[in-house]
Amino acid sequence: MRDVFVEEIEIEDPESYVKNKFRGEEVSFEKTVLEDGTIIYDIVTSQIKQRCSFTEI
């Protein structure tokens, strides 16, 4: 894998964070919530796939 970034941030609303970070006309995302509470957003921006994963510490 290439271009893997890890950030530790404190946010109230992961969906608002994703929408704000990946703004534009050609943006789509799919949200998945795992059994352990992890929230995953699969994002497509200008035909580039990205994934954001949010977990509680």
- Provide CB contacts within 8 A for 47, sequence distance 6+: 26
21-49 pLDDT per residue, tens: 888 778 999 999 999 999 999 999 888 89
pLDDT at 7: 86
Scan for tokens 């990205």, then name that residue.
Answer: 50
Q: How far apart are CA 57 and CA 45, in angstroms?
A: 28
pLDDT-derived band at 15, boundaries 50, 70, 90: very high
pLDDT at 1: 61
Closest CA to 41 of 11, 57, 2: 11
CA dihedral 10, 11, 17, 20 (to 10 degrees): -90
Averaged over 2-7, what is the pLDDT? 83
Residue boundaries of the structural domains of the chain: 14-54
**Model pTM above 0.75:** yes
